[in-house]
Structure 1
Amino acid sequence: YYASLNHGYRAGTYSGQGYFSPDQIYLTKPEKVDAYEIGVKSRFLANRFEITAAAFDYNYKDQQINEVVGAVGFLRNAGKSRVRGAESEL
C-alpha cells in the first residue's frame, strides 16, 4: 500500500510561437499542481497473480495548455483545473 502527496511547479514563460504578429507573443503565469495518489501493489498464489491499482487527483492552478488556432499554437493559462482518475492491472 502507498500514498503520496506532491507539489509541482512549471515556470511562467512567454508564448513565442506567434508567427504572424507581435500581438501573438505574450507571457503565461506559472503553473502549480497538487497531486494526490493512493494505491496498492501485491502478488498472490506463489507470485503467479499480481494486482496493481491506484487512484489519483491533480489540482492545477493556472495550468499551461497548448491551444492551436489555425496554423499557430499558443501556450495559454487555463486557470483552475482538476484531473481525477484510477487505473488497475491484473
Structure 2
Amino acid sequence: LNGSTLVGVFLGQRATGGYSVKVTGASVSGGTLTVAVQVRAPAAGSFTTQAITSPWAIVRVPGSFSSVNVVDETGQPLRATGSGTNR
C-alpha cells in the first residue's frame, strides 16, 4: 500500500435497498485516524427494492495509524453491530 492505510466501513446486511454509506472526511490526531461517514436509510414509506443489500465503502488514506475511529455526521462513533470489530 506504499505507506497508506485502507479503511473499510460496512453497514452489514439490510433487508431492502435505499441504504448507503459515504466517507466524507478524515483527520489525524496523534496516531489515531478519525474517518467521518454519512449513513443514509430509506425514508419511512418510501419505495425500495426488495433485495438484501450490504452497503460499504473503502477509502485509502496516506499514512499508518495505531487506531482508527469511525464517526457519523454529528461526530458520534458509528455503532458496531454483528461480529465485526471497531479498530
**Same fold judged by TM-score > 0.5?**
no
TM-score of the superposition, structure 2-length normalised?
A: 0.27
TM-score of the superposition, structure 1-length normalised?
A: 0.26
User: Bigger radius of gyration, 1 or 2?
Assistant: 1
Q: Taking CA–CA contacts closer than 8 Å with sequence separation of 6 or more, which of the two structures ends up with the larger relative contact order? A: 2
